[in-house]
Amino acid sequence: MDSDEDVYMVESDSDDGYPEDEILSFEDLESEMKASISEIQDVIEGSTDICRLLLQKYKWNKDFMLDRFYESPDTLAFLIDANIVPKQSAVFSKGDVECQICCMDGDLSGLACNHLACDDCWKAYLTEKIKEKQSEIECMTSNCKLLMKDEQVKKYLADSAAIASFRKILVNSYVKVNSSLRWCPAENCEKAVKVHQPSESRLLICSCGTRFCFTCGNEGHEPIDCCYLKLWLKRCMDDSETFNWINANTKDCPKCSAPIEKNGGCNYMRCENTRCRYEFCWMCFGSWKNEGAHSCNTFKEKKTENSSRDKSRVSLERYLFYYNRYAGHRKSLELEEKLKERVELKMNEMQKQSMTWVEVQFLPKAVEVLSECRHTLMFTYAFAFYLKKNNSSIIFEENQKDLEQSTEQLSGFLERDLDNEDLVTLKVKVQDKYRYVEQRRKALLDHCAEGKEQNVWVFNE
Ligand SMILES: [Zn+2]
Ligand SMILES: [Zn+2]
Ligand SMILES: [Zn+2]
Ligand SMILES: [Zn+2]
Ligand SMILES: [Zn+2]
Ligand SMILES: [Zn+2]
């Protein structure tokens, strides 16, 4: 058995010298905030609440805030400027016992500005502000900009659910202004990813498995840029009828018209009709004789007359060509979910036979690589749709072809050979293939990134 040196290798972004991304929980974020607050507390000597408001005002940029602080004539002036201490307080006579808001008699209280109200009015006001998700809440009296301290907010709210919402608002406002933090977009996942190497359209991976774009928050979409992805998704949305056709699981055999159902992600198909047995590609219906050698990733424009009708037909055909492949890989990705269970069973079986846990890890790894490649392939078709032909685009299409061919081969190994191959051969085959596919994927993405740096890509629209 060969060595399993890559089994323990954690996926790493650090080969370029940057530390890896960190995944932060809600509590981690709160303690990061607290740490920043106590750092400035040493200088400002104010309460936690005051320092939280100051940092919020300066978008949690400590250095910038401290520079402003040192420029200020004194602490009081600095706090007045930040609306944390009132410029002047309203005159309050002992006789005032009526709430200015609801005009009822009762115990009144308020902030240092002496704008007083009853507890019920404060509570109603704050509940409204929490609904509006405000992280800086001003005094209730209009034109009074004095900010409420967190402790005051909590005291008046006096309700644990509302206080929890307020804490969420505070943490959220911290994440929102922090250029290295991004919330995971998955529902019910309250984690944020901290990025040490912010760059456009970079792929982030949360501990819940969600992969998303650093810039636009959509699912990871390398190599296409966020702005073209937006255009692409809009176009796809406007075109759901085509989607239904492409997304169908059953098509007719192009040779004998027998219906053929697609059960797995692999796009190599063979007609079940024993008198036909036609081997073809699910994407283009073209013949697929020797497994692996088929390619159909390039759109070939037919010669047309110059009428505008012809032009719009060609442009539709072109769009459908790319859309078909984009949606096709998405569909495969969906169908390959089933592979995870099959692989799980296979791993148990192999461990019962002769292999150790470590030795069978090549299987889940292969499934992971397969879905990564499907993902990348999807977006290469959106990328190619906007791409104008030039020398670099031809290299791109070559890379895309290699990646697609080898991905289909890996998919074929996992779908068809899992049960018919002896374990040692299966392992060697699958491992060699996924390593190769991974290389192809990296080569394609590197080429796209380099092209971007050197401005070689020309896009339509
Ligand atoms: Zn009142
Ligand atoms: Zn006030
Ligand atoms: Zn997540
Ligand atoms: Zn994006
Ligand atoms: Zn057939
Ligand atoms: Zn094809």
Residue range 71-116, pLDDT digits in tens:
999 999 999 999 999 987 776 655 567 888 888 888 888 899 888 8
Residues within 5 Å of ion ligand 2 by Cβ? Answer: 113, 115, 139, 141, 144, 146
Per-residue pLDDT at 5: 44
Q: Pinpoint the alpha helices (H) of 210-307.
A: 226-237, 240-246
| Segment holding 75, helix H or strand E | helix 75-81
| 200 close to 226: Cβ distance less than 8 angstroms | yes
Concatenating the DSSP letter of every residue in 184-224 gives --STT---EEE-SS--TT-EEE-TTS-EEETTT-SBP-TTS
Total number of residues shown for the chain: 461
| 270 close to 277: Cβ distance less than 8 angstroms | yes
CA of 105 to the centre of ligand 2 (A): 19
Residue 128, CA distances (Å) to 134, 143, 164, 338 in order: 9, 18, 15, 47
CA distance 29 to 175: 8
Q: Which residues of the chain have pLDDT under 50?
A: 1-14
Ligand positioned closest to the Cα atom of 185: 3
Ligand positioned closest to the Cα atom of 105: 1
Residues within 5 Å of ion ligand 6 by Cβ? Answer: 281, 283-284, 286, 296
Q: Tell me, yes or no, if the pTM score tops 0.85.
A: no
CA of 280 to the centre of ligand 5 (A): 9
CATH number for the domain whose boundaries are 226-453 = 1.20.120.1750
CA of 13 to the centre of ligand 6 (A): 34
Ligand positioned closest to the Cα atom of 219: 4
CA of 193 to the centre of ligand 3 (A): 9
CA of 121 to the centre of ligand 1 (A): 4
- Cα dihedral sign, 353-354-357-358: negative
Residue showing tokens 């008699």: 105
User: What's the N-to-C CA distance of the chain in angstroms?
Assistant: 53
Per-residue pLDDT at 92: 63
Per-residue pLDDT at 419: 82
CA of 118 to the centre of ligand 6 (A): 73
Give the residue numbers annotated as catalytic, written as ranges: 266
3-state secondary structure of 321: helix
Could you tell me the two tokens for 69?
């602080």
Asked if CATH classification 3.40.50.150 holds for the domain at 23-178, the reply, yes or no, is no
Could you tell me the two tokens for 239?
């075109």
Domains 23-178 and 226-453 share a fold: no
Segments making up each domain of the chain, as ranges:
23-178, 185-220, 226-453
CA distance 333 to 342: 15
Rounded to 5°, angle at Cα 312 from 309 and 315: 150
Concatenating the DSSP letter of every residue in 124-167 gives HHHHHHHHTT-SS-B-SSTT--PBPPHHHHHHHH--HHHHHHHH
Q: Pinpoint the alpha helices (H) of 358-422.
A: 362-386, 391-416
CA of 421 to the centre of ligand 5 (A): 27
3-state secondary structure of 67: helix
Ligand positioned closest to the Cα atom of 192: 3
